[in-house]
Amino acid sequence: MSNVVSLDSIFGLGELAPPAVMPAAPEAASGCSSSSCGSSDGPADMDPAVWEKVKNHPCYSEEAHHYFARMHVAVAPACNIQCNYCNRKYDCSNESRPGVVSEKLTPDQAIKKILAVAQEIPQLSVIGIAGPGDSLAAAGKNTFATFEMLQKKAPDLKLCLSTNGLALPDHVDTIAQYNIDHVTITINMVDPEVGAQIYPWIFYKHKRWTGLDAAKILHEQQMLGLEMLTSRGILVKVNSVMIPGVNDEHLLEVNKAVKSRGAFLHNIMPLISDPAHGTYFGLNGQRGPTAQELKVVQDACEGGAKLMRHCRQCRADAVGLLGEDRGEEFTADKIEAMGFVDYDDEARRTYREHVESERAGRHASKAAAQADVRESVGFTVDPILIAVATKGGERINEHFGHAKEFQIYEVGPSGAKFIGHRRVDQYCEGGSGDVDTLDGVLAAINDCTAVFVAKIGGCPSKSLADAGIEPVDRFAFDYIEESALAYFKDYAERLGQGVVQSRAGQDAVIRTGALTARRA
């Protein structure tokens, strides 16, 4: 496979008409724009040094996740705590979906794999270590051995790690020493009473602790580790698993506590719970939240620590853009067959230059589209949700029947804001659609007013329309946010005429099954 660097060829944009001409930028934009909310902050909203660190990191910048890929290397098999949502036979739920066993790697194998993947995927910008256990258990030996080598072999790749935080204070100096600029801590509580319902035990200072004692130690270590990292200028993202009835309301307090200690982002993720995973929660009927329950908690946290809403809860050996997993292209035997791969960053550099120039133009066109809506619609119409079929590049460039996830945007007078994604099974396999699968898609986007696609057949179009969700293909291959705002303007007009109805109050199902999306 060659190293393709054009955005058009990477995202398959060239097969269709060029995007519509975007409106000119207004002379001045004010108020909350889509690029000034949450993790979608842009260069105008932050310190230039921080922007440099996050602009190509798909998890730390919502905008970057449309363009850049991450790769996890599963070098950390051990764990020092037990979470009630984890079954140790499977991957770490902190940064991955349980239920799929990883191919565990030694640091040497990991480096070989990273160099091979970096040559094949020019979008690759970040290497993360997120399990399958805890990256800092067992003294973080494999984690740091991998990063030490990687720093020398491929210095253009950002280093990122994820931890439950128990051992974090012991390793902050090493993290700083290896220039690991991005650290995720999973913090599900700041009250040990809540923690005791999530963690049956921890292993700390050569001893197993249970109950409130365990939760208290974990909490103190997490807070200390967070403070130590942020005081050194290391960007910290906090992941929280939302467990209805256990910590859902409590997450507001978590948000405040991590904000006051300097966390850069807060990522509230839905609990993945299924008896088939064999977890304590799964076996005891603990459910995960619905889409609207998750959104209510996330919305309540707005104004506190900035929220990340584009997490895909990826596997500990995930490879590719968020929302896709190209891991099967890079199994150990395939890497072996590729032979020795040397470091070469030319394709990645060229790709980053393309992205940089494309993104610069986008900020103005988004602001212009938003100003147009604000002027013509005002704040008289409530925001709506739309689902988008996309392969990346911030464009509507996926067919309805090929989508394995839909990106969800909230669109209104304040702009178009990415608020999440919904995994689905692919409706069309081998040229024909499956009715049962379509029911699953409808359930996943049931709170949306419209679904934006590059193309859609007559049959699913009718089912969507019957369910009250408008299929929209007139923006095929255009940019998402500008198209969403143009649609909202038209929707507001039709709503005023009584031609369409509001879908306020609908809820949708978050699918907890496997992420099996693969780039065709």
- The residues of the shown chain that bind ligand SF4, judged by CB under 6 A, are 79, 81-83, 86, 92-94, 131, 133-134, 164
Strands 265-270 and 235-242 turn out to be parallel
Question: Considering only residues 137, 301, 305, 311, which one is a binding residue for ligand CLF as defined by CB under 6 A?
Answer: 311
Per CB under 6 A, 66 contacts ligand CLF: no
Contact criterion met (CB below 8 Å) for 452 and 470: no
Cβ count near 432 (within 10 Å): 10
Match 């269709």 to its residue by tokens. Answer: 16
Pick what 130 binds: ligand SF4, ligand CLF, none; C-beta below 5 to 8 Å, kind-dependent: ligand CLF
Question: Considering only residues 53, 55, 72, 421, which one is a binding residue for ligand CLF as defined by CB under 6 A?
Answer: 72
Q: Select 167 or 322, whichever has its Cβ closest to ligand SF4.
A: 167
Per CB under 6 A, 160 contacts ligand CLF: yes
Cβ 315 to ligand CLF shortest distance, Å: 8
Pick what 248 binds: ligand SF4, ligand CLF, none; C-beta below 5 to 8 Å, kind-dependent: none
- Of the CA atoms within 13 Å of residue 117, those in its CB half-sphere come to 30
Q: Which region, judged by CB under 6 A, interacts with ligand CLF, from 309-317, 365-373, 424-432, 490-498?
A: 309-317
Question: Considering only residues 41, 62, 91, 95, which one is a binding residue for ligand CLF as defined by CB under 6 A?
Answer: 95
Pick what 184 binds: ligand SF4, ligand CLF, none; C-beta below 5 to 8 Å, kind-dependent: ligand CLF
Cβ 94 to ligand SF4 shortest distance, Å: 5
Per CB under 6 A, 75 contacts ligand CLF: no
Contact criterion met (CB below 8 Å) for 133 and 200: no
- Nearest one of 352, 340, 356 to 153, comparing CA atoms: 340
Phi, psi of 273 (to 5 degrees): -140, 125
Pick what 305 binds: ligand CLF, ligand SF4, none; C-beta below 5 to 8 Å, kind-dependent: none
Cβ 291 to ligand CLF shortest distance, Å: 17
Cβ 350 to ligand SF4 shortest distance, Å: 37
Contact criterion met (CB below 8 Å) for 372 and 23: yes
Cβ 176 to ligand SF4 shortest distance, Å: 23
Question: Considering only residues 73, 86, 118, 130, which one is a binding residue for ligand CLF as defined by CB under 6 A?
Answer: 130
CA–CA distance, 199 with 218 (Å, rounded to integer): 9
Per CB under 6 A, 76 contacts ligand CLF: no
Phi, psi of 406 (to 5 degrees): -120, 135
C-alpha distances (whole Å) from 444 to each of 278, 288, 408, 506 are 25, 14, 10, 11
Contact criterion met (CB below 8 Å) for 185 and 230: no
- The distance of Cα 46 from the centroid of its chain, to the nearest Å, equals 20
Per CB under 6 A, 416 contacts ligand CLF: no
CA–CA distance, 457 with 460 (Å, rounded to integer): 6
C-alpha torsion sign, points 195, 197, 202, 205: positive
Return residues touching ligand CLF (CB under 6 A).
Answer: 59, 70, 72, 95, 126, 128, 130, 160, 162, 182, 184, 237, 267, 311-314, 322
